[in-house]
A = this chain, B = another copy of it.
Amino acid sequence: MKIQTFVEYFDEPLYLESGRILESYHLKYETYGETNQDASNVIVVFHALTGSHHAAGRYENDTKVGWWDPLIGDGKTLDTTKYCVLCVNVLGSCFGSTGPMSFEGKEKEPMRLNFPVITISDMVTAQINLFKKIGIKSAYAVIGGSMGGMQALCLAVEHPEFTKRAICLASTYATSPWAIAFNKIAMEGVMRDHRFKNGNYDIKDFEEEGMDSFAIGRMAGHISFLSPYSMDKKFGRNYVETDGLYELFGRFQIEKYLEYNGHSFAKRFDPLSYLYIIKAMNIFDATRNYDSLADSLKHIKAKLTLISFKGDYLFMPEEMEFIRATLEDMGRGDKVDYFCIDSNYGHDAFLVEYDKFDFYIKKALEAKQ
């Protein structure tokens, strides 16, 4: 499998949903496999909140493979001997695309909190511009989990000619107040962190010491990614050895897990990028510019495949099921397949339980459209 990483720069303005404008911008992306002659074999992969364009393979000196590596490669579900898989970073990211901390064109300073609010629709518009620029007129399929699924759905609605297949996993048509509530803790965690300084932070402060309210906020995310059942299985009521501040209180394994993940996240993810991408998720509502979900979905030309997970405590299966039901009510049941996977792994299932859902992705890719 051939892996290539690119950055594409745009010197023309990007008009955002908020009414604001990015005078110039750039997007990072990665490809696995190669395009065929007419570039009709491209599968676009969208990443989730804290993901990146690095979806598969291993960089030199890296211990970890890309976040969807089990699915992407020669002979795998997204078969790189047949398809050119392209994973594209989102606007707002801290992994090489335009975001609150990036340097644009002639700018000498990053925009920080002056960076405009970005929506999922804005992300997708920029991505479509990228695809056009690099010669991809349409995709064989687009696919993503969680916020990646939002991008896939948004693209299917707003750029209906671009893809024949859209596959959404563990996602929703509009972020629920339940998910916004978890995100609220994350956002307050960032903003109240003493190192944040109203956005004027020195990123080194976050790299050095991780446990402050930024980390606390991230813990809420980690709860929402799991489920009561997966926590029972993984941690139960087991204790770990005590130390320092925790000595008086004892310490459970689940507590250590949350500490570790909160702590390490604050070291690796930019706080402003986190704020802006969370906000984009919160704002996401496929019905916003339409009279109803049906009014929005009627634009879709792609065949939609929706995969939810029974034990997802962040984006409930009912939310994806509602998309299916709406399409069926519209007399367009033939344009949607819905599968609810029996998993207790929580929201993280789309990053873990490959054996349970890769069959449905394969099926969606092989079906003629």
Contacting A188 at CB < 8 Å: which of B117, B219, B237? B219
Contacting A254 at CB < 8 Å: which of B181, B255, B275? B181
A93 to chain B, nearest CB (A): 18
For residues 227 through 274 of chain A, which have their beta carbon under 8 Å from a beta carbon of chain B?
A: 227-228, 231-232, 234-237, 245, 248-250, 252-255, 258-259, 262
Query: Given contacts A194-B194, A250-B283, A285-B237, are A228 and B176 in contact (CB under 8 A)?
Result: yes
**Considering the chains assembled together, what is the distance between the CA atoms of A117 and B220 in angstroms?**
25
Tell me if A211 counts as interface (CB < 8 A to partner B). Answer: yes
Tell me if A174 counts as interface (CB < 8 A to partner B). Answer: yes
Say yes or no: B177 contacts A254, CB within 8 Å.
yes
Which residues of B sit under 8 angstroms from A262, Cβ to Cβ?
188
**Considering the chains assembled together, what is the distance between the CA atoms of A285 and B232 in angstroms?**
14
Tell me if A113 counts as interface (CB < 8 A to partner B). Answer: yes
A201 to chain B, nearest CB (A): 15
Tell me if A335 counts as interface (CB < 8 A to partner B). Answer: no
Say yes or no: B113 contacts A220, CB within 8 Å.
no
Which residues of B sit under 8 angstroms from A245, Cβ to Cβ?
191, 198
Say yes or no: B184 contacts A219, CB within 8 Å.
yes
Tell me if A192 counts as interface (CB < 8 A to partner B). Answer: yes
Which residues of B sit under 8 angstroms from A211, Cβ to Cβ?
188, 192
Say yes or no: B176 contacts A231, CB within 8 Å.
yes
Say yes or no: B219 contacts A177, CB within 8 Å.
no
Contacting A249 at CB < 8 Å: which of B117, B176, B220, B313? B117
A136 to chain B, nearest CB (A): 33
Which residues of B sit under 8 angstroms from A316, Cβ to Cβ?
228
Tell me if A52 counts as interface (CB < 8 A to partner B). Answer: no
**Considering the chains assembled together, what is the distance between the CA atoms of A308 and B283 in angstroms?**
35
For residues 280 through 295 of chain A, which have their beta carbon under 8 Å from a beta carbon of chain B?
A: 282-283, 285
**Considering the chains assembled together, what is the distance between the CA atoms of A215 and B188 in angstroms?**
9
Say yes or no: B117 contacts A248, CB within 8 Å.
yes
Mask, A184-225, CB within 8 Å of B = 1, is 110111011010001000000000000111011101101100
Query: Given contacts A113-B248, A216-B217, are A232 and B177 in contact (CB under 8 A)?
Result: yes
Which residue on B lies nearest to A282, using beta carbons? B252
Tell me if A82 counts as interface (CB < 8 A to partner B). Answer: no
Tell me if A301 counts as interface (CB < 8 A to partner B). Answer: no
Say yes or no: B185 contacts A231, CB within 8 Å.
no
Say yes or no: A185 contacts B254, CB within 8 Å.
no
Mask, A28-58, CB within 8 Å of B = 1, is 0000000000000000000000000000000
A contact set with B: CB distance below 8 Å: 113, 117, 174-178, 180-182, 184-185, 187-189, 191-192, 194, 198, 211-213, 215-217, 219-220, 222-223, 226-228, 231-232, 234-237, 245, 248-250, 252-255, 258-259, 262, 275, 279, 282-283, 285, 313, 316
- Identify 22 residue pairs between A and B in the complex whose beta-carbon atoms are under 8 Å apart, listed by A's number: A117-B248, A117-B249, A176-B237, A177-B235, A177-B236, A178-B223, A178-B226, A180-B237, A181-B222, A181-B223, A181-B231, A182-B223, A184-B254, A185-B219, A188-B219, A189-B213, A192-B212, A194-B194, A213-B213, A237-B285, A249-B279, A250-B279
